[in-house]
Amino acid sequence: MATTQEIAFKEPAARVAERQAAFGATDELPEMQGEKMVLNMGPSHPATHGVLRIILEMDGEIITKADPDIGYLHRGDEKIAENMTYTQFIPYTDRLDYLAPLANNVAYALAVEKLMGIDGQLTPRCQYIRVICCELARVSAHLLGLGAFAMDVGALTVFLHTFAQRETVYNLAEALTGARFTTSYTRIGGLSRDIPAGWIEAVRKFLDECAVAIDESDKLLTRNRIWVDRTKDVGIISKADAIDFGLSGPNLRGSGVDFDVRKAHPYLCYKDFDFEIPIGSVGDCYDRYLVRQEEMRQSLRIIRQAIDKLPGGPINIPDGKTVLPPKDKVLTGMEELIHQFMLVTQGVNAPKGEVYFGAENPKGELGFYINSRGGGTPYRLKIRAPSFVNLSILAKLLPGHMMSDTVAILGSLDFVMGECDR
Amino acid sequence: MSQTAQDLAEKLSAQFPEAFVAAVEFRGEVTLKLKDAAKIADVCAFAKKDLGFDYLVDLTSIDNYGEDPRWTVVYELYGMLTHRSYLRIKTDVSEEKSELPSISGVWATANWHEREAYDMMGIRFAGHPDLRRILMWEGYPYFPLRKDFPLAGKPSEMPDVAFTRRAPLEGGPFVTLAGGKDSMEREPRVRTPEE
């Protein structure tokens, strides 16, 4: 008459060893019988979350070779960036990881500000609002990531729970920026606008509701027999592999590497907040799921602290050569008019030099390498897209798994093709 | 923080005497420039093995169009499990050669980064296990991130593969040439690739 059954986990090391023993040696697959079959997965497949195509070589149900084919969403963002001013490129960053546009805006603005050497001058209010934006984006991206992951392996209900919360985040983004999706919220040296009236209360309400929704999805999944069977010990990425392949974000932490840019190299005002970095022990799909689940809770914690301590004051750097002056001043003052004209036609005046700035985005470390030869346009802007780097491990990770595991592995890597292909 | 990066840069320079131009520090980041691109694989292998740079953050290529050498390849190194410092290594490659050793044997992540650099600019990496196009498709004839490739694209015809035309606005999107010499050049307008 037992009603509950404990799910037993062995020691991490034993689990990895057992899994590897099942496939023979790690690198070489056991000699298999039968004719190989090539299976084309994607670019339009519900589990590939966009336009990823994987050419799989199968021996029965077992994958023997995987060749990811990307680039279906390539728009040449880096080329476009070379042909416009720094500020004009902000809307393009919305379209990188389009599940977390606010976080992309912040990462890009910080990279340009680092190049200009004004990242230390950002006003406290601006920094706090940016942190709130980043963490809202993280919650929103992880909600979708988990919902879609669960849906792909058959748990549709979770998706409905998480999507209801995402809707609230979109409403918050709309109230804050005027757009639900393409937020383009940051400016070099500040923000496009301040928080609207009543927004903080709405965020507070969201924090309470979202915490409940996360607990609900937790109850639906974490000790769910089917979920555990589909994800536990599937798609194990060892710590060494995770570092060698340059993984970042929850995928790296799922493999047990304690690295989060927010803690390792704090930017904005992340130093002011009390939060923890969850890490996994085995590096399987289940660990990556747990890491994301906990990260959402930590993000809610950060937002709560940020809105409690939100300082007043201006949101922009008081420098007419960097941030657009207020419109009423432009129409009445000579100096402001000149600043406005110069900023719109020439852009901010960045010095000669090169910087790399990486921010901890929901998918991993989104980095911008900017090579400037002075003036308002980057000479070369390289986007280090976490999804691009995270997907490069597929060729190594997939072989040896069952076809049906692919869906779980792709869901657990949580990538966005808009960012991968740029 | 940046002191460690300086120390590591010195150690690297000491291991390969005369191989580097003096380290440059800008915004707290240390950049080392390697004179001879052929040594890049050895330098990276040493940096990983002996200096603890176990993580390659990024690999970028730059087109210095109109200058010689034309290409610059930039490596962004990081010590994940060790000192947690960044170091940037740069090296130049001439247009005639357009080839340098691959470091995909040092960090597995370099595999895709090098494929991208090849795809976008046409720089080849000797010893790369699988140097194919990655973002553009197999058979595409141009290298779109080169400075002499127009923003609107070029028409291309590849029977049985794919084709491209110029962007629909014939020269658009509406592009500002920041810092252009006069306002006619600066203001956003449709531009033909010849401009």
Residue A268 gets the label, from left (phi > 0), alpha (psi -120 to 50) or beta, of left
pLDDT in tens, A186-227: 988 888 888 998 899 999 999 999 999 899 888 888 888 888
Mean of pLDDT over chain A? 86
Q: Name the minimum distance, in Å, from the CA of B160 to any CA of chain A.
A: 17
Q: Which residues contact B183 (CB under 8 A, 6 or more apart)?
A: A345
B 97-136 near A (Cβ less than 8 A) = 107-109, 111-113, 116, 120, 133-136
> A257, B81: Cβ pair inside 8 Å?
yes
Range picked from A14-18, A174-178, A401-405 for highest mean pLDDT: A174-178
The CA distance from B45 to the nearest CA of chain A, in Å, is: 13
Which is nearest to A239 in space by CA: A278, A277, A282?
A: A282
> pLDDT tens digit string along A19-59?
666 655 445 555 555 678 888 887 877 777 778 888 888 88
Over the range A232-245, which residues count as b (16 or more CB within 10 Å of their CB) and which as e? bbbbbbebebbbbb
The answer to whether the Cβ–Cβ distance between B63 and A380 falls below 8 Å is yes
Q: What was the pLDDT predicted at B172?
A: 47
Mean pLDDT, residues A318-332 taken together: 82
Q: Does this complex have an ipTM over 0.85?
A: no
Nearest chain A CA: its distance from B28 CA (Å)? 9
Do the Cβ atoms of A70 and B135 come within 8 Å?
Answer: yes
Helices marked H in A194-352: 199-221, 225-231, 239-244, 250-254, 261-264, 285-309, 327-332, 334-346
Rounded distance between C-alpha atoms, residue A255 and residue A241, angstroms: 9
Pick the residue from chain B with its C-alpha nearest to A389: B109
Q: Does residue B31 sit at the A interface (CB-CB below 8 Å)?
A: yes
Q: Which residue of B has its CA nearest to A342?
A: B179
Q: What are the φ/ψ torsions at residue B162 (nearest 5 degrees)?
A: -170, 170
Q: What's the pLDDT tens digit per position in A273-292? A: 999 999 988 888 999 999 99
Residue B113: per-residue pLDDT: 92
Q: Is the pLDDT of residue A334 over 50?
A: yes
Residue of B nearest to A119 (CA): B27
How large a percentage of chain B has pLDDT more than 70?
80
**How far off is chain B from A329, nearest CA to CA, in Å?**
23
